[in-house]
Amino acid sequence: MVKPLKIAVLGSSKGSNMQSILDAIEAGTLDAQVVCAIADVPDAYILERARRAGIPAHYLSAAPFKTKLDGEAEQAYIHLMKSHGADTVALAGFMRIVKAQLLHAFPHRVLNIHPALLPAFPGVHGWTQALDYGAKVAGCTVHFVDSGMDTGPIIVQRAVPVMEGDTPETLHARIQAEEHLAYPQALQWLAEGRLQVKGRRVEIRTG
């Protein structure tokens, strides 16, 4: 039985993955509603995307921390998302590690998209890491979030070849095209109740 998701999107930048979620909802391939978008950067374009779509858009500081969401800021984020009725959190270029309180508030309902084939190349600029390493294949990963950096159970991955003459920009663009397919798919599986976490593994039940 499908239970439409009520998604809060957290981002720090352009929000192209939020746009892919909105596009999938509009196309009828994702049973969900984006109930709010929250950014930790006041001029992040993800907020403008949300406003144009009629979605509540909030800048919420995560100070005093630089790389994590913790303490009073974490509580403020949880309260704001709950106030909008969110039951699922989609990290879309949110450049912070989320901590235990948020994960406990949304158990197995916090997802992230990462521009590399985890566990390879965690952290920032995974596409550049892959290119610098000489990898022949790159891609993206949608995973459940835990308190580590890009270490949560993997839901789905999509791969792209690394081409001769690729630059970080060309490789990143090809990976992003796959991200925009993978994230809505993973969220739809969640809405359909098909994802079951067993230790490090995520089982995807057939329909």
- Annotated domain spans of the chain: 5-204
Known catalytic membership, residue 114: yes
C-alpha span between 207 and 203 (Å, rounded)? 12
Instruction: Kindly tell me if the per-residue pLDDT of 190 is higher than 70.
Output: yes
Please report the pLDDT score of residue 147 as a whole number: 83
Instruction: Kindly tell me if the per-residue pLDDT of 207 is higher than 70.
Output: no
Q: Which two tokens stand for residue 68?
A: 């994590």
pLDDT band at 1 (very low <50, low <70, confident <90, very high): confident
Q: Do 56 and 36 form a contact (C-beta atoms < 8 A)?
A: yes
Q: Which fold is adopted by the domain 5-204?
A: Rossmann fold (3.40.50)
Q: Which two tokens stand for residue 24?
A: 């999938």
DSSP β-ladder status, 32-39 and 5-11: parallel
157 backbone dihedrals φ, ψ, rounded to 5°: -130, 150
Please report the pLDDT score of residue 81 as a whole number: 98
Q: Which class for 111: exposed (0-12), middle (13-18), buried (19 or more C-beta within 10 A)?
A: buried
Residue 28 one-letter amino acid: G
DSSP one-letter code for 193: T
- Picking from 91, 11, 25, 75, the residue whose alpha carbon sits closest to that of residue 53 is 25
pLDDT in tens, 18-66: 999 999 999 999 999 999 999 999 999 999 999 999 999 999 999 999 9
Please report the pLDDT score of residue 69 as a whole number: 94
pLDDT in tens, 76-130: 999 999 999 999 999 999 999 999 999 999 999 999 999 999 999 998 899 999 9
Q: Do 9 and 92 form a contact (C-beta atoms < 8 A)?
A: yes
Q: How many CB atoms lie within 10 A of CB 38?
A: 26
- Picking from 154, 170, 16, 188, the residue whose alpha carbon sits closest to that of residue 93 is 16
Pick the catalytic residue from 104, 108, 114, 180: 114
pLDDT in tens, 123-156: 889 999 999 999 999 999 999 999 888 899 999 9
- Picking from 24, 200, 184, 207, the residue whose alpha carbon sits closest to that of residue 88 is 184
